[in-house]
Amino acid sequence: MHDLDEHREAREPVSLAKESAAPEAAEPGTAAAQSGQAPVWRRGGRAVRGAVTHERTRTAARASVRHSMYVIGGTRIVARRAWDGRTAARYERMMRTAEAAGQHEAAAEWEERGRQFRAARHQRRMELLTSAPRIAKSAAIGAGATVAGLFVLGGVLAIANEDIAQVLAPPLAVIEVIRIIVLVASVVWGPLVVATPWMALAALWGVGRKAEAAPAWVLPAAQRSSDGEPVTPSIVVQALRNLGVPALRKAIGEMGDGGAGMLGPITIAGCGVEVDVTLPSGVSTDEVQSRRRKLAENLARHEHEVFITIPEAARTVRLWIADSGALDEPIGPSPLAIDTTARGDYKGGRAPWGQDLRGDAALISLFQRHLLITGLSNQGKTASLRALALWLALDASVEFRIGDLKGVGDWKPFEGIATTLIEGPTDEHVAQVVDMLEEGVAEMERRIMAPASSTFRPLILLVDEAQVAFMCPAAGEDKRPYGGTKATSRYFQAARKIHNQGRAVDVVLWQGTQDPTDQNLPKLVREGAHIRASLVLGTESQARMALGDKAVDGGAAPHKLRQGLDKGTVVVAGDGVKLAPGQSSVTIRTHYINDDEAEAIAQRAKALRDGVTTLHAVEAGEERDHLADIASVVGDAPRVLTQDVLKRLADVSSTYGKWSFIHLKAALEGTGAEPYKSDGRMVIGRDRLSRALANRPEDGSASTHG
């Protein structure tokens, strides 16, 4: 009794602790309430709920469902295989798949294979109908020959042993063997009958487990190596099946070949592999593209190590899967830095910009192509743009006029190469860059008006950090803003004019800009570039602004690059870079050229030129009274053609040497003497000029627009 009392006392604290932990209060007036305990039904309900929701219970339930589905799925797969083996269903399915993919030759081949299968099956059935007599006859002959053989053998033994009884020894031995076999079979038959269904279930379970024929939510977590797994057809099919697209999973489960027919050959492509996947009917390429991260994880890769593009074939996606960690390795120095004999060739050459994902050299043609490169800050935009300019600087025929609106010295190597180099972020620097572009427009128009046989040096107008110009609120003395996105913006208008007509006379505009938006990169300007490249961006909408909808819909994803880790990696769309058939973009890992290497390349470029004097500001020209000069060249004529006015102004002063109709119209805007049409041609009237001169204020008698 003493021991029991001690045991009871030892248990009481535990009981009190359990009672005090109960959160619910019992009904008042009950015995349970008086003792401080919850009702039995509540405690029982909590116990049942806890048991049902316990992790072990859920794990056991998932395991039960998983293994049950393995058996069901294995049965379905075996039945499908049996059906395919007995019928022409496989050939019909492959024929429909080929027809849906537009592969008519393959469809015809599968149709012929199906016809041959049906003909062979019919032949086998016809032979089976006539085989019974032949089988019976063959069995009788075989049995007779066997018995005769045994007696012949017995006769030989009888002669050898001089015992006539040996004649029956071989037949009796065969009879004894048959008796033993029957005896063993009678003993084994019962357990075999019992075990056969379980063996069949185990076989079906094995088939289902190998094919993972169970819902994704009951499958165990995949065990992946941190180094990534080799890419095999089974891994690709498994990754696609577990992508979360019900139609795709169902179609793969119904395929007799386990989905292998969807895959083209897996080929080595640079630091990874590439494979084309023909999707089953009812599955769109968008459903695969939108699940890029999940597909990468299913392939034991990071998201940035898998690229999905759309080739020419219908309902097909092209997967490029990097070797794990390969994209974090450098690609090596630029050929410009290691080959001191390298030369640029504007017309017929291609700049060595880097390597594509296949590991091939990425070469880009710059001949008569406007260029736009954009990306987030500090991701290698200027370095990528400067690498192209350095290659082209090694062609002595090319003239550069550069506006660097960052102004931290990135373009200093072009001192002595560029005829104009403006560096700085202020409104004054923007004004100078705008003047530089407008001079480029005037040069373009002069070339367009020149005789057809004229030849000109290629002129590259390069503006780095162009968003500074677009966002500039300042205006010139003519009240027209330097920046902005409206038609009144001088920078916008100059860029549009060069985009429209510049390439025909080798006046080309290159721009680098940050964080593309409609405010700092207007649609008409970004769509005017022949080559559009983007480093890492923050959002898909920015990617569409940078590269266009077609490129992004085709798989271009600069917003999927890793900020800070993928510096210098650009996604390029346009006609200046070699693209695979059906592709709208290519991803390039550009060579990095540091400042010392850039200076060395620039020195080689300077040696090819005859001493270029670099201007750091656009000359404004002498101060002229434009209205008075125009009136003087019109003279006493009632009206003069605008073309003749421009020629006469050029004779008056070199300030007007680069003027175009745009400059003439701007000088007369708001005076009442603007050009107008007479007999279908633009003219300037003497009477209107006289009234404008008479009516203008005294402080407006001199113009400093020139």
Backbone angles phi, psi at 399, to 5 degrees: -100, 135
Decide: 322 and 553 in contact? Cβ < 8 Å.
no
Decide: 495 and 509 in contact? Cβ < 8 Å.
yes
**Residue bearing tokens 């149709």:** 111
Decide: 253 and 73 in contact? Cβ < 8 Å.
yes
Query: What is the DSSP track for 161-197?
Result: HT-GGGGGHHHHHHHHHHHHHHHHHHHHHHHHHHHHH
- Determine whether the annotation assigns residue 382 to a binding site: yes
Decide: 677 and 683 in contact? Cβ < 8 Å.
yes
- Determine whether the annotation assigns residue 523 to a binding site: no
- Determine whether the annotation assigns residue 647 to a binding site: no
Torsion, CA 273, CA 278, CA 279, CA 285, rounded to 10: 70
Q: For 3-44, what is the HEC assignment?
A: HHHHHHHHHHHHHHHHHHHCCCCCCCCCHHHHHCCCCHHHHH
Q: What is the spatial distance between Cα 212 and Cα 73, in angstroms, rounded to a whole number? A: 8
Q: What is the spatial distance between Cα 9 and Cα 12, in angstroms, rounded to a whole number? A: 5
What letter would DSSP give residue 521? Answer: S
- Determine whether the annotation assigns residue 377 to a binding site: yes
Q: What is the spatial distance between Cα 247 and Cα 254, in angstroms, rounded to a whole number? A: 11
Q: What is the spatial distance between Cα 35 and Cα 31, in angstroms, rounded to a whole number? A: 6
Which is nearest to 447 in space by CA: 508, 402, 369?
508
What letter would DSSP give residue 698? Answer: G
- Determine whether the annotation assigns residue 378 to a binding site: yes
Decide: 502 and 447 in contact? Cβ < 8 Å.
no
Count of helices and strands (H, E) across the chain: 25, 17
Structure tokens at 420: 């104009």
Which is nearest to 484 in space by CA: 515, 514, 526, 521?
521
- Please, what is the Cα angle at 243 between 242 and 248, to 5 degrees? 85
* Residue 54: Cβ within 10 Å count: 11
Give the start-end residues of each E strand in 470-626: 507-514, 531-534, 569-574, 586-590
Which is nearest to 307 in space by CA: 579, 557, 584?
557
Which is nearest to 446 in space by CA: 681, 661, 684?
661
Decide: 512 and 373 in contact? Cβ < 8 Å.
yes
Decide: 466 and 512 in contact? Cβ < 8 Å.
yes
- Determine whether the annotation assigns residue 511 to a binding site: no
Q: List, in order, residues 6 or more apart from 432 with CB less than 8 Å away.
A: 403, 422, 617, 618
Q: Which residues are documented as binding site for ATP? A: 375-382
Q: Which residues are documented as binding site? A: 375-382
